[in-house]
Structure 1
Amino acid sequence: MEWLAGHFEFVSNPEAWVALFTLVVLEIVLGIDNLIFISILTNKLPKEQQKNARRLGIGAALILRLALLGTISIIVQLTDPVFEAFGHGFSWRDLILIAGGLFLVWKATKEIHHSVDPVDQKDTMMGKVNMTLGAAIFQILLLDLVFSIDSIITAVGMTDEIAIMFIAVISAVTVMLLAAEPLSRFIDKNPTVVMLALGFLLMIGMTLIADGFGFHVPKGYIYAAMGFSALVEGLNMLARRKRERDAKSQSTLH
């Protein structure tokens, strides 16, 4: 009990509460990337499997993050260089980020190519065919691992309190779980949003690769660009709905 109480001494420290709030917000923001990928990928599955796939994918993200927090001393060592090339010391974290970024770029590029090619619509995120539950979960787990390691290293850089890290991770994944269904329905009902989300994934993949090579891109720039793009798409959607209502009104009058 004394060991457990020792981890919650931060409750009497106002600075620790600020760190907790900041880290929770940051973890939620970092989880957006993961959630977009999960939402688009699971929408390819049959309707009856989509909800379970999303829950399994997000549940796996929580388990991975908590397990990585349990081995935090090892995770911290992942930032130590293991070899040097092109004048940059590469760590295991760098290699994982590069591999994850390449996977995201490949996946997003493939889906963008198929979505703009009307000749072949099979095996795309736009079409709900040729995707099994096992394949979806496997791909989600790959990206869960990449985002989880990045998330934990971010948490370690902000606070030394393990309890704060656990609370922030659990809070972020809970928000992901609550937002998964509405986001997936929104993407499913608005096909043009899929292309925008694929563009986000492409940008995120390139950012992961750049980070792995030592070129850090501030997350604020990325999410500001995503937010502006989403705002523009939202205005386009409102304009399309207005045109549809006007067209219906005209047809009714005639």
Structure 2
Amino acid sequence: MRELAGAYAARVPSLDVHGLIEGLEGVQLQFAPMGARDGAYDPEHHVILINSQTRPERQRFTLAHEISHALLLGDDDLLSDLHDSFEGERLEQVIETLCNVGAAAILMPDPVIADMLERFGPTGRALAELSRRADVSASTALYALAERTPGAVLYAVCARARLTGDEEGAGAAPVLTVRVSGGSAGVKYALRPGTPIPPEHPVNAAFESNLPVVEASYVPFRSGRKMPADVDAFPVRGRVMVSFGLTARGGG
């Protein structure tokens, strides 16, 4: 799927909404209100529908996702393998996952991710720059960057939120928490969404100062465990993009 999507991205004139569709001959792009749905591909009528009421960033990812559906349906070998291996609801889940993989590969081709890693290393800034350059959500950029990152690195996007339920301090002023997290191939764990960032942690320092912070510190697991890590925190528009480099001392 990644190879199909990468080849598609290489032959379209641009990666904006109108340039993306030009690689599918005879397929029309239409925008319309779609309620809770982001988009759909109608192979019978050769139309991709995009919800006109979603954010432009979301529309672009949805278009790349629906293009991936078209690419998958056009590859008889891949489609046959999927139907031989899965069926029913599980088949639909796998197809949706593959189309998300394809969308990421279209919007963030390997050369773009390689350029980010070469220029900035596996850092919070690399995550922020990839999200900006590819015009994708930080979570989409995070998973793509983590997949291509060598070594043991855990990425996270943090923002302020009010704690709820049984969490310590629930109902108090908003605190910095993890929104999404994911690690490279060498990392088998992540920070759970909603995990609070301790006030003394360098990620909080980056958020409060609005300045990048690079410091030897730790991964703040919800359990209270503090895994040593090299922290690179890069604040951008009310959020902090973070990488935790898990060196040998950090259990990477």
TM-score by length of 2: 0.23
More helix by share: 1
More strand by share: 2
